[in-house]
Structure 1
Amino acid sequence: MSERIVVVGAALWHEGRLLAARRSAPAELAGRWELPGGKVEPGESSRAAVVRELREELGVSVEAGERVPGEWPLKPPYVMQVWTAALCPGSAAPRPLQDHDELRWLTPAEIWHVDWLDHDVPAVEATLAHAAPAGQDT
């Protein structure tokens, strides 16, 4: 059986908006948008990885919520899982620290105004279906 490596993406919602991060590296992904996150380390839970990755990549303290149903294939052996997340009270504002050069808070109506990475598109669709703030049009 082949190895499977889980990558977590964070659906970070704040005041009804979803955070999107624009890749600056590697070159083939630069300029396109993704849900921030990264690889789950050996012995680490997916939930803990969301918290750690957002601290490392964006300098924020978050609380991981629930997993968005589904799993999306990346370049083998990687698969992506998405978790909802919320900023902890008193957290610094997110800023791009690693692998990103811009961040945007998108309302549900603005979600498709950015050029998402191909493998993030179905994950973002599932996130909207699962976790978009109540009372807002997607």
Structure 2
Amino acid sequence: MNYKLDKELKTMPELWDLYDADRNRTGKTHERSPHLPQGTYHIVAHVWMRNDKGEWLISKRTPNKDFPNMWETTGGSALAGETGLEAAVREAREELGVTLDPEKGVLFRTDRRDRRDYPACPDFRDVWVFSLEWPIENIVLQENETCGAKWATSDEIYAMMERGAFIGNEIYGYLGELFAAFANEPENSPV
């Protein structure tokens, strides 16, 4: 695995489109912050990538981030002008060097979270699933974001959660539903 640093992303402020409670764009943007104007939301994409063995591609957060050194799925906030799908594809490319075909993404679920506790802020969470065959040695880690990546089964992810190595239900409360929908047999998978 290799590291990369996108210097352009480091120097530009991250702007988010703001949405109302019905997911209508307000026409306003907000610089990345845990404190959004009252009654507004932004879009967050979770990106689950699954291979034909039924394993999920997960990444390890760097020590300088919230939830340091914990494993997670790829994800992040949509930038101004992006859809949840576009954010999912961009985040996979930035954090892991993975190229996803937007036409092959399946929107597993979307929900509105009215969180106002740091570091969380209110958002619409889009959970995307992609079928992906990508050798682990071709992963390109994003410096200051990711420090490891691996393929893991649903059972391995649950075991990691139990021992505190994978971010838990506070972020991924939908995991049971996701793993049941995408059973280990690839022919049962919607992707």
Give TM class, smaller chain.
Answer: 0.7 to 0.9
Q: Deviation at 1:132? A: 3.4
Inter-partner Cα distance in structure 1 for 2:95 and 2:51? 17
What is aligned with 1:86?
A: 131
Matched, 1:105 2:151: yes
Whichever of the two has the greater Rg, that structure is: 2
TM-score, with normalisation over the residues of structure 2?
Answer: 0.60
3-state SS in 2 of match to 1:51? helix
Percent identity of equivalent pairs = 23
More relative contact order, 1 or 2 (CA 8 Å, 6+ apart): 1
CA distance in 1: counterparts of 2:153 and 2:99, whole angstroms: 21
CA RMSD of aligned residues (A): 2.7
CA distance in 2, matches of 1:89, 1:109: 21
Alignment partners' CA distance in 1, 2:177 and 2:110: 8
User: Residue 70 of structure 1: CA displacement?
Assistant: 4.5
Structure 1 residues not aligned, in runs of 5+: none
Q: Which runs of 5+ in 2 are unaligned?
A: 1-19, 21-38
Alpha-carbon distance, 1:68 to partner = 1.5
Cα 1:72–1:11 change in 2 (3 A) is farther
TM-score normalized by structure 1?
Answer: 0.79
The 1:105/1:89 distance shift into structure 2, 3 A limit, reads closer
1:77 aligned to 122, 146, 150, which one?
122
